Structure 1
Amino acid sequence: MLTAVTRSEASSILADGGVLVDGHEVTKGSIKVREGQRVRIVLPDVPEGPLVAPDASIDLRVVHEDDDVVVIDKPAGLVVHPGAGNLDGTLVNALVARYPEIVDVGEPERPGIVHRIDKGTSGLLAVARTPRAYDALVAALSAHDVEREYLALVWGRPEATHGVVDAAIGRSGRDPTRMAVSNRGRHARTHYEVVRTFDNPVPLALVRCRLETGRTHQIRVHMAAIGHPVVGDDRYGGARSPVPVDRPFLHAARLSFAHPVTGEPVEATSPLPADLEAVLGTLG
């Protein structure tokens, strides 16, 4: 085995678009590779050790907590789980310190994590404390039974006040560290609604985005694909001088799901953090 990963890990890498043949993403292990073809494998970021070290020095803002699940309001700049270049100082390091039982929940390198948000994105994230809760939340996400709403400031004003971006997302053939709309990618669907528009210093719109699927960088890629990249997003064309902001203007503002054990509704909301509110305050 060339990559020293297990069969299940290899399947996950395929499913996540981490294998490219001659620059094209493939998601099926049955494909036959011909002599002379170039295969590129993008391995997921994983720490060297099987156990994530606890770090109680990292502050956690807990907005919901019970014996099975917690909801965290993550600040921008905090990486969710250890990986290459970020082996410690992550949200998971803090979670293991506060909830040591999660080391046996889910994947060893990202215990308890059932979905992720980017380092530069702030907002709500659900974490499982038990294997039963983990399995149920993963299933709920797969069935699109978890409601995830984000607020984003985008360049320009979408023509329609409501819309749906239905476009598959896969790794870019030019740069595998970036995502792109691709007919070889995985199904991705984002609903958006214009909340407020601005004219000064340039046309802008505050939009509410609801994820139907949860692909890597989904909102950022989809909004850029329709000509309205997220303000401050230097990776997908959103970093521009008229509105200086040092991270993507993207915030996970609402999270709603049925409790994985009791079935009771769990709903959490998070207001825009101060740095993003300050940006809105400069607009007219």
Structure 2
Amino acid sequence: MSGPDNARTFRVGDDDDGIRLDRWFKRNLPDVSFNLVSRWARTGQLRVDGKRATPGDRLEAGQTLRVPPAEAAPIEGARPKRIVKPLNDDEQAFVREMVMAEGRDWYLLNKPPGLATQGGTKTHQHLDRLLDGLANDEGQRPKLVHRLDKDTSGVLLVARSARAAAHFSKAFSGRTAKKIYWAIITGAPSVEDGLIDLPLAKQPGTGGEKMHVDMEEGLASKTRYRVIDRAGNRAAFVELQPLTGRTHQLRAHMAAIGHPIVGDAKYGGAEAMLTGGISRKLHLHARRLKVDGSDAKPIEGTAELPPHFAESLAALGFEAIAGDMMPIDQPPRATPEAKAKRAAAKAKDARRARKGERRNRGGDSRTAARPKAKPRRK
């Protein structure tokens, strides 16, 4: 979006909660160099919630970021703009094959595993580049509004215009968009339907590429899970619903409760691998998405499984049809552990209240029992 002075404004989404401002530019505006970000900061043109900002500032979800217009970049000394190589015929066909459905201002894609959503230092082939193959007659290309990990497959929404992108970004950051993931995990949770409520933070020493549970410094992170089927104690077919949007949330949460996602070597190590011909690829798939369009009509999509996931389901005796039985809007149920914590907290509050009553009564009785001082004779 642009303001009256042509400055651009952006709203920080949940996925960018806690990252540095310079990292936000690398993720969302990769064409803006670090030197330019620093120059904007020094001259007061870069602001967060109306206040001057520096490249090292940490952002919070919901904040408003004011960025100078692109044409404000100085020409002298600026690095030449990176030349984007046009898509070849195979690449154009590839991205068009991903399209599951489309509307006036959106596309629903089924992203295959192994394809990054956005580019990076060593990532040159990614979905954001391939979106050139879906540009309209005027050359306007679709815009990303959310992301999936490189090795995660499934349904992904892109907007046809900046206005539509702003609408959908608000839905995702406001958690009104519903997302259902399927996963195969090692072992089988004893509680079949519940919530994982564990705060997550970037793990030190990993360059921010890995998350871990941090009860003191972590950001609130909640995941609903439901066991669809189980193969004894060997593995389980589960449905996952992220109620917050932290980096690698589903992967970190499942590993934290002792049931890493099959193929997730980063979070589960050797324990995330199954024998018996089961693929070593990540078994995490964005199965369903529901979000309101700009016309308030719901947009829904269901993404077919990639071959390795479908083959693993069959090998373990699971049926995909069993996973689609639950409505996407089904509210999560609390685990027995969560219920016990709430009951304990309620009992603690009740004890405090009774203790306060006894203290008050004791104070009143002592006051009533205290004899009045006799008047002194003159």
Same fold (TM over 0.5): yes
Q: What's the RMSD between the two structures over aligned residues? A: 2.9
Question: What are the ranges of 5 or more consecutive residues in structure 2 without an aligned counterpart?
Answer: 1-20, 23-33, 38-45, 48-52, 62-79, 318-378
- Greater shift in the superposed pair: 126-135 or 237-246: 237-246
Task: With a CA cutoff of 8 Å and minimum separation of 6, indicate the structure with the bigger relative contact order.
Answer: 1
- Distance in 1, matches of 2:205 and 2:168, equals 34
CA distance in 2, matches of 1:101, 1:171: 43
Q: CA deviation at 1:123?
A: 0.3
Q: 1-side partners of 2:222 and 2:240: how far apart?
A: 10
Contact 1:54 1:97 in 2 (8 A): no
Instruction: Return the match for 1:271 from 277, 282, 304.
Output: 304
**Alignment equivalent of 1:135, drawn from 144, 147, 166:** 166
Question: Residue 130 of structure 2 aligns with which residue?
Answer: 94
Paired with 1:10 and 1:253, the residues of 2 have a C-alpha distance of: 39
Bigger mean CA deviation after superposition, 48-57 or 183-192: 48-57
Q: What secondary structure sits across from 1:14 in the alignment?
A: coil
User: 1:101 touches 1:129 (CA, 8 Å); kept in 2?
Assistant: no
The CA deviation at 1:101 is 8.3
Q: Distance in 2 between matches of 1:136 and 1:192?
A: 28
Find the counterpart in structure 2 of residue 229 from structure 1. 260
User: 1:170–1:179: 8 Å Cα contact kept in structure 2?
Assistant: yes
For residues 11 and 196 of structure 1, the distance between their equivalents in structure 2, rounded to whole angstroms, comes to: 47
Displacement of 1:193 in angstroms is 0.5
Compare the two structures and name the one with the higher helix fraction.
Answer: 2
2:180 corresponding residue in structure 1: 149
Equivalent position of 1:175 in the other structure = 206
Q: Please list the CA deviations of residues 151-195 of structure 1 after superposition, one character each: whole Å capped at 9, or x if unmatched.
A: 000111111111111222221013232111223232221111000
**For the Cα contact (< 8 Å) 2:290–2:299, is it kept in 1?**
yes
Q: Distance in 2 between matches of 1:102 and 1:136?
A: 22
CA distance in 2, matches of 1:153, 1:76: 15
In structure 2, the residue matched to 1:188 is: 221
Cα shift readout 1:77-136 (whole Å, capped 9, x = no counterpart): 11111111112x21112112222689878xxxxx71111111111101111111111111
Describe how 1:105-124 pairs up with structure 2 within 5 A: 112-124=143-155
CA gap of 1:173–1:165, structure 2 versus 1, over 3 A, is: same
Whole-angstrom distance in 2 between the partners of 1:208 and 1:158? 12
The code of the aligned residue for 1:99 comes to A
Q: In 1, distance between residues paired with 2:121 and 2:159?
A: 24
Q: Based on CA coordinates, which of the two structures has the bigger radius of gyration?
A: 2
String of CA shifts for 1:219-270, please: whole Å, max 9, x gaps.
Answer: 00010111110011010015325254232100000010000x2110100001
* Cα distance in structure 1, aligned partners of 2:223 and 2:254: 9
Cα distance in 1 between the residues matched to 2:196 and 2:147: 21
After superposition, the Cα gap between the structure-2 partners of 1:220 and 1:12, relative to the gap in structure 1 and judged at 3 Å, is farther
Q: Provide the rounded CA distance (Å) in 2 between the counterparts of 1:169 and 1:120.
A: 20
Paired residues for 1:1-284 under 5 Å: 4=35, 6=37, 7=46, 14-15=58-59, 49=81, 53-56=85-88, 57-58=90-91, 59-60=94-95, 61-87=98-124, 89-99=125-135, 112-176=143-207, 177-182=209-214, 183-199=216-232, 203-237=234-268, 238-242=271-275, 244-259=278-293, 261-284=294-317
Residues 80, 117 of structure 1: 8 Å contact kept:
yes
**SS of alignment partner, residue 235 of structure 1:** helix
- Further displaced range: 92-101 or 272-281: 92-101
Q: Deviations over 1:197-217 (max 9, x none)?
A: 002xx5211110011122111
* Superposed displacement of residue 66, structure 1: 2.1
**Would you say the 8 A contact 2:262–2:280 is kept in 1?**
no
How many percent identity over aligned positions?
31
